[in-house]
Amino acid sequence: MADRQSTMRIDPETAARIANDNALWSDFEAICNCGGRLAGTQSERQAFELVERLGRDAAGGIVGQRIGVPYEGWSVVRSSLHLDDGTSAECYPLLRSTATPAQGLNAEVIDLGRGALEDFAAQASDIPGRITLVRHELMFAAGTIHRGRKYEMARDYGAVGFLIAGPLEEAIVAGSSGRQGPEGIPSAGISPQTAGLLAGRSTGRASVTLTIETLEAPAEAQNLVFDVPGQSDETVLLSAHLDGHEVSESAMDNGSGLAVVLAVLRCLAPEMRNFKRGLRVAFFNVEEWALTGSAHYVGRLDQRARDSIALNINLDSVGGSSNLTALTSGFPALGPYLQEVATSNGINLQCHLPLMMNSDHANFAAAGIPAFRLVAGFDEPDANLRHVLTPADTRDKVTPGELHQAVLLTAAIVVAACNAGSEEVTGWRAKTTE
């Protein structure tokens, strides 16, 4: 065991480079300076050019490959929410929300609490023709019901609109509606204070007028891929998504992942020629659009290309807590292996086996490629990750120590996976039937 652990341990020289990497924090701040990075905005384009330049420098001059990603472009022209008492409240249209009629959507609000299946079923006959109100949940937790699932249930039960209340006082919530095609219902995030004004009235239901005007047209974003060769055609694919939301700096989600990937690339690029497998670094775009960028990438791979990927390591929201978890996507052999690497490097790592469709790793897992998401603050309600998708997702919620720890663990996993035996890699591909 000692010999095996020594092969999984980052060597002292590499560990020192990670500990002394001042560019890690400056990269993180530069990414945050670009703003929220909503796909299709100047903020996203500025961040793409920044990451392209930083990635080229980190890779020792290797030029990244741009890969076009067609998607349904969407932006908000105006939005408003007026209550029946004559007051106005702040709202934020969810990504890809459909527009309301020009004069707005006026309807009663039905409060469904958490918005679980049983909540919808219990009031099924009262939902048609009304706007549903549900609550946003901590995304990084077992048992979470994603807002997209709640949106789907609202639409399927006949609601004409969808409101979701955020988790933080005085703060609206952002995020994707989950709408895939042309059909949908207007949807927006609101604050818990606004939800309180709409819920639990003793004299009938509250009414609101929700107005959302949008522009929709075909658009194209770009993924960015850097290849650092090893000694074979096999690769370990390290990924992070670039886009975010306009309400904040999108610092934890996913400025943290971008900065850590750049640091790992900078640290390991000079060593890759000595490794059995090469390193492919992918910065995926339009992730907030139902994982569109990575879906496009994986969908273009033939079977041989898929088989050449030993592992996808997806970094998404790795700052905001010192506690890291690997979401191992139903690949039971991955968890013990990753924990062994973490232990060998003095890091505590938790693992969660069931597949969670909450970031780009999910598209690799669906294609049979071993994949996991590294995330901070999982099942930790008081962690700063609770601020994700709110205006408070800002750089002050992340510490340099959290990012350095994520770099050390990620680099150790990359090195171990790049040099793992073929039988071990084959074992990772076995999926649980549960």
- d(CA 329, CA 339) in angstroms, rounded, equals 15
Q: Is the pLDDT of residue 255 over 50?
A: yes
Same domain, 179 and 238: no
Strand partners, 283: 224, 240
Residues of the domain holding 102:
77-218
Q: What is the pLDDT of residue 393?
A: 97
Where a domain ends, among 176, 191, 218?
Answer: 218
Same domain, 213 and 267: no
Q: What is the pLDDT of residue 431?
A: 87
Q: Is the pLDDT of residue 191 over 60?
A: yes
The DSSP element (H or E) to which 65 belongs, if any, is strand 65-83
Domain count, the chain: 2
DSSP, residue by residue, 233-269 = S-EEEEEEE----TTS--IIIIIIHHHHHHHHHHHHG
Cβ burial of 317 (10 Å; 0-12, 13-18, 19+) is: buried
Going along 155-230, which residue ranges are E strands?
161-165, 187-190, 207-228
Q: What is the pLDDT of residue 288?
A: 95
Q: Is residue 59 a part of any domain in this protein?
A: yes
Same domain, 422 and 355: yes
Q: Using an 8 Å Cβ cutoff, are 262 and 27 in contact?
A: yes
In the chain, the amino acid numbered 229 is P
Cβ burial of 101 (10 Å; 0-12, 13-18, 19+) is: exposed
Same domain, 92 and 174: yes
Strand partners, 315: 374
Q: What is the pLDDT of residue 170?
A: 79
| Tokens read off for 300 | 């273009």
Contacts of 285 (CB under 8 A, 6+ apart): 39, 44, 48, 69, 221, 222, 223, 224, 241, 242, 243, 292, 293
Mean pLDDT within 227-234: 97
Cβ burial of 304 (10 Å; 0-12, 13-18, 19+) is: exposed
The pLDDT-based confidence of 274 (bands split at 50, 70, 90) is very high
Range name among 196-205, 273-282, 306-315 with the lowest pLDDT average: 196-205
Q: Is residue 416 a part of any domain in this protein?
A: yes
Q: What is the pLDDT of residue 193?
A: 95
Same domain, 374 and 400: yes
Q: Is the pLDDT of residue 346 over 50?
A: yes
Same domain, 286 and 149: no
Q: Is residue 70 a part of any domain in this protein?
A: no
Q: Of 76, 72, 77, 97, which Cα lies nearest the Cα of 220?
A: 72
Q: Is residue 347 a part of any domain in this protein?
A: yes
- d(CA 176, CA 363) in angstroms, rounded, equals 17
Where a domain ends, among 194, 218, 242?
Answer: 218
pLDDT single digits (tens) 69-78: 999 999 999 9
Same domain, 350 and 373: yes
Q: Is the pLDDT of residue 433 over 90?
A: no
Q: Is residue 144 a part of any domain in this protein?
A: yes
Q: Of 33, 41, 44, which Cα lies nearest the Cα of 241?
A: 44
Q: What is the pLDDT of residue 178?
A: 85
Q: What is the pLDDT of residue 292?
A: 96
The pLDDT-based confidence of 204 (bands split at 50, 70, 90) is confident
Supply the CATH number for residue 255's domain.
3.40.630.10
* Residue 216: C-alpha distances to residues 71, 87, 306, 390 (Å): 10, 30, 33, 24
Q: Is the pLDDT of residue 202 over 70?
A: no
- Tell me if residue 66 falls in helix, strand or coil: strand
Mean pLDDT within 120-127: 97
DSSP code of 130?
A: S
Same domain, 159 and 269: no
Cβ burial of 4 (10 Å; 0-12, 13-18, 19+) is: exposed
Same domain, 8 and 59: yes
The secondary structure of the chain in percent helix, strand, coil, rounded to multiples of 5, reads: 35, 25, 40
Q: What is the pLDDT of residue 283?
A: 98
Q: What is the pLDDT of residue 294?
A: 98
Contacts of 401 (CB under 8 A, 6+ apart): 322
Q: What is the pLDDT of residue 1?
A: 45
Same domain, 58 and 87: no
Quote the percentage of the chain above a pLDDT of 90.
Answer: 90
- d(CA 245, CA 223) in angstroms, rounded, equals 17
Q: What is the pLDDT of residue 200?
A: 66
Q: Is the pLDDT of residue 117 over 70?
A: yes
Where a domain ends, among 161, 194, 218?
Answer: 218
Q: Using an 8 Å Cβ cutoff, are 313 and 238 in contact?
A: yes
Quote the percentage of the chain above a pLDDT of 70.
Answer: 97
* Residue 302: C-alpha distances to residues 224, 280, 298, 299 (Å): 19, 17, 9, 8
| Strand-pair category, 278-284 with 207-228 | antiparallel
Q: Is residue 28 a part of any domain in this protein?
A: yes
Contacts of 85 (CB under 8 A, 6+ apart): none
- d(CA 141, CA 379) in angstroms, rounded, equals 4
Q: Is residue 69 a part of any domain in this protein?
A: no
Q: What is the pLDDT of residue 6?
A: 67
Q: Is the pLDDT of residue 181 over 90?
A: no
Q: Is the pLDDT of residue 370 over 90?
A: yes
Supply the CATH number for residue 126's domain.
3.50.30.30
Mean pLDDT within 383-410: 97
Q: Using an 8 Å Cβ cutoff, are 349 and 324 in contact?
A: yes
Mean pLDDT within 15-24: 92
Q: Is residue 349 a part of any domain in this protein?
A: yes
Range name among 188-202, 230-244, 382-396 with the lowest pLDDT average: 188-202
| Tokens read off for 53 | 């330049």
| Strand-pair category, 235-241 with 309-315 | parallel
Residues in the chain: 434
How many beta carbons lie within 10 A of that of residue 77, not counting itself?
10
Q: Please provide the distance, in angstroms rounded to a whole number, between the alpha carbons at the two ends of the chain.
A: 30
Same domain, 207 and 254: no
pLDDT single digits (tens) 291-305: 999 999 999 999 999
- d(CA 15, CA 26) in angstroms, rounded, equals 19
Same domain, 140 and 275: no
Q: How many CA atoms lie within 13 A of 328 on its CB side?
A: 23
